[in-house]
């Protein structure tokens, strides 16, 4: 039972809950994760991380751990053979998808959360939640019986059937998607395990995602089996027969070690915040697995909300900051629903008109270089941008800061992502022409960095970046003295509460 007033409780230790727990732990908050499962997940479910997710993991120093566990593959299959999104030209340090089973994603995040002092309680099912004058009260059931927990804030990362969302009476409009898909983790001797693969025929659709250990995930939309109840187990024979029905070959399938029948739904909560309680991940939005967006969208919810809750508990969050979680993430959820819905309908249309539209889309439209570039940015998540908060806004405001390397004023070279490992704001000031801004008197949660050179496209002379890697403010004014008032205003808007006591630190040019 928790009685500390600064506790944040995360309900659910799925990928969203664990990613959020890492962010809260990093912010130094007393964080408790309540999970009804008895132990960490062993099954694989979702299977890939898109570039923006890997970029964000890299912002926290976790990129290497994930790259060692996953397999980078250059393209994402859209359906028909050869129809892919090619990520190789993506403007990112990670121009690929990283194939990695969900169980491994959760395992790495769990280890990190524990390193950061987060308390994870297994076999703890939240059965009720309500806000009162003193914060949030949760009723929790476990092997030892029922008890009560208190928290300053609660984040519901409790998945599609979220109890918290239900208790809050937040509507979750939408519908199940037609048909179910068969998922199987197997070995396929007949396909190279170096890139993803897709095929679409009169019999259905096959997508294959290779893993680092030489096995792969088979996703089969087998029309002959699409209305089988999802509770019916999937065996190797069914996978083999499905492969033959859909593609004409069984690809030497063998050694099935996990399988499931999955019927997705497309829904979105109407509100992501009710007072001190927030919804994130599948509890807030769910969609078809087309485009592998679900886990990635939840992960990015967590990265958006974590530092904001950290600011709220530390006492420096501006009044509007917690509301910006809904303002920023709800439209992204809508976009994901539109994108996945469009691809799902395109791939599963079986009438003549639908088939013609699909052929035109995949043969004529998706191979076009501008369409490829658009799709790579959209599916990878790097195109996500948040509305500007300060007017007039700069063209970069709200966009994500691409990676790359910087040479600092003292001559050291750093990767941009290294500057964000401790989840502070980063104020990037160009010192190229020798002019230096007066960066004394900054709040503790803002790191000032003077740099002389950046590889790639130049940045504006002054750029304030949020802890999650999105530009909060930027200025093209070359004279530090002349841009100082606008910078002060930006810092006041983003990084302080009018009545909060501010600790100060002198300029820091080291990562
Ligand atoms: C079979 C299957 C295959 C999938 N395949 C893909 C795919 O290929 N690509 C893709 O992008 N997505 C896929 N998904 C979806 C993806 O797994 C989800 O988007 C992702 O898991 C969402 O993460 P989450 O943390 O928000 O929710 P979840 O992973 O659902 O985690 C919620 C957690 O909350 C816990 N919980 C629930 N209620 C309570 C409670 N009252 N008290 C305490 N704990 C509670 C649950 O036990 C669970 O651990 C698949 C899902 C399934 C089921």
Pocket lining: 47 vs ligand 1, CB cutoff 6 Å: yes
In the CATH scheme, what architecture does the domain 8-47+101-174+266-348 have?
3-Layer(bba) Sandwich (3.50)
135 touches 152 (CB < 8 A): yes
> In Å, how far are 23, 113, 122, 382 from 116, measured between CA atoms?
9, 5, 18, 27
Q: What is the tens place of the pLDDT at every residue in 138-173?
A: 999 999 999 999 999 999 999 999 999 999 999 999
> What is the mean pLDDT of the segment spanning 434-442?
72
pLDDT over 60 at 258, yes or no: yes
Query: For ligand 1, atom 21, which residue shows the shortest CA distance?
Result: 295
Q: How far apart are CA 427 and CA 509, in angstroms?
A: 10
495: closest CA among 470, 460, 468, 464? 464
Query: For ligand 1, atom 33, which residue shows the shortest CA distance?
Result: 12
User: Domain segments of the chain: what residues?
Assistant: 8-47+101-174+266-348, 181-263, 405-505
pLDDT of residue 244: 97
pLDDT of residue 208: 96
pLDDT of residue 192: 94
Q: How far apart are CA 431 and CA 160, in angstroms?
A: 49
Pocket lining: 282 vs ligand 1, CB cutoff 6 Å: yes
pLDDT class for 434, splitting at 50, 70, 90?
low
pTM of the entire predicted model:
0.95
pLDDT class for 389, splitting at 50, 70, 90?
confident
pLDDT of residue 498: 63
385: closest CA among 458, 331, 344, 320? 331
Nearest atom of ligand 1 to the alpha carbon of 261: 1
Ligand 1 centroid to Cα of residue 192, in Å, is 30
Pocket lining: 188 vs ligand 1, CB cutoff 6 Å: no
Q: What is the tens place of the pLDDT at every residue in 59-76?
A: 999 999 999 999 999 999
pLDDT of residue 505: 34
Tokens in use for 18?
A: 């664990």
In the CATH scheme, what architecture does the domain 405-505 have?
3-Layer(aba) Sandwich (3.40)
pLDDT over 60 at 499, yes or no: no
Choose the residue to mutate in 46, 206, 266 for probing ligand 1, maximizing ligand atoms within 8 Å of C-beta: 46
Ligand 1 centroid to Cα of residue 32, in Å, is 19
Q: What is the tens place of the pLDDT at every residue in 25-58?
A: 999 999 999 999 999 998 888 999 999 999 999 9
Percentage of the chain exceeding pLDDT 90? 82
Least confident of 149-163, 404-418, 430-444: 430-444
Q: How far apart are CA 393 and CA 386, in angstroms?
A: 12
What CATH code is assigned to 181-263? 3.30.70.2450
Chain mean pLDDT for the chain: 92
Pocket lining: 73 vs ligand 1, CB cutoff 6 Å: no
Nearest atom of ligand 1 to the alpha carbon of 262: 1
């Amino acid at each position: 039972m928790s009685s500390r007033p600064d506790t944040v409780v995360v309900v659910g230790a799925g990928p969203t809950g664990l990613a959020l727990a890492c962010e809260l732990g990093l912010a130094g908050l007393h964080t408790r994760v309540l999970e009804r499962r008895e132990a960490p997940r062993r099954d694989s479910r979702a299977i890939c991380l898109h570039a923006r997710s890997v970029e964000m993991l890299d912002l926290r120093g976790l990129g290497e751990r994930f790259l060692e566990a996953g397999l980078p593959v250059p393209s994402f299959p859209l359906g028909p053979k050869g129809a892919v999104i090619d990520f190789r030209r993506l403007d990112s340090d990670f121009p690929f998808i990283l194939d990695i089973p969900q169980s491994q994603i959760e395992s790495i995040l769990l280890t990190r959360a524990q390193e950061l002092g987060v308390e994870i309680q297994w076999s703890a099912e939240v059965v009720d939640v309500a806000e009162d004058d003193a914060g949030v009260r949760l009723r929790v059931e476990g092997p030892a019986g029922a008890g009560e927990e208190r928290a300053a804030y609660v984040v519901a990362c409790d998945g599609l059937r979220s109890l918290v969302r239900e208790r809050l009476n937040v509507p979750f409009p939408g519908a199940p998607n037609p048909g179910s898909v068969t998922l199987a983790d197997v070995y396929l001797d007949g396909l190279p395990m170096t890139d993803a693969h897709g095929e679409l025929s009169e019999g259905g659709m096959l997508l294959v995602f290779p893993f680092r250990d030489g096995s792969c995930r088979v996703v089969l939309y087998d029309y002959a089996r699409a209305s089988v109840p999802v509770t019916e187990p999937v065996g190797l024979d069914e996978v083999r027969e499905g492969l033959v029905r859909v593609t004409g070959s069984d690809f030497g399938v063998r050694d099935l070690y996990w399988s499931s029948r999955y019927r997705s739904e497309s829904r979105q909560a109407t509100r992501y915040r009710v007072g001190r309680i927030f919804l994130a991940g599948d509890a807030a939005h769910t969609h078809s697995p087309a485009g592998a967006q679900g886990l990635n969208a939840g992960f990015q919810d967590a990265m958006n909300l974590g530092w904001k809750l950290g600011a709220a508990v530390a006492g420096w969050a501006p009044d509007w900051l917690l509301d910006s979680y809904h303002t920023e993430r709800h439209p992204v959820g809508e976009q994901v629903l539109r994108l996945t819905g469009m691809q799902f309908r395109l791939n599963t249309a079986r009438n003549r008109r639908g088939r013609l539209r699909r052929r035109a889309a995949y043969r004529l439209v998706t191979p076009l270089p501008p369409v490829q570039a658009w799709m790579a940015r959209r599916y990878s998540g790097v195109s996500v941008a948040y509305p500007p908060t300060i007017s007039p806004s700069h063209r970069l405001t709200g966009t994500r800061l691409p990676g790359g390397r910087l040479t600092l004023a003292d001559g050291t070279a750093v990767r941009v992502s290294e500057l964000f490992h401790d989840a502070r704001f980063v104020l990037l000031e160009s010192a190229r022409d020798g002019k230096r801004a007066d960066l004394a008197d900054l709040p503790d949660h803002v790191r000032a960095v003077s740099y002389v050179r950046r590889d790639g496209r130049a940045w504006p002379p002054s750029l304030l970046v949020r802890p999650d890697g999105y530009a909060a403010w930027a200025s093209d004014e070359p004279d530090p003295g002349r841009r100082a008032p606008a910078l002060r205003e930006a810092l006041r808007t983003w990084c302080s509460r009018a009545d909060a006591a501010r600790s100060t630190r002198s300029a820091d040019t080291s990562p």
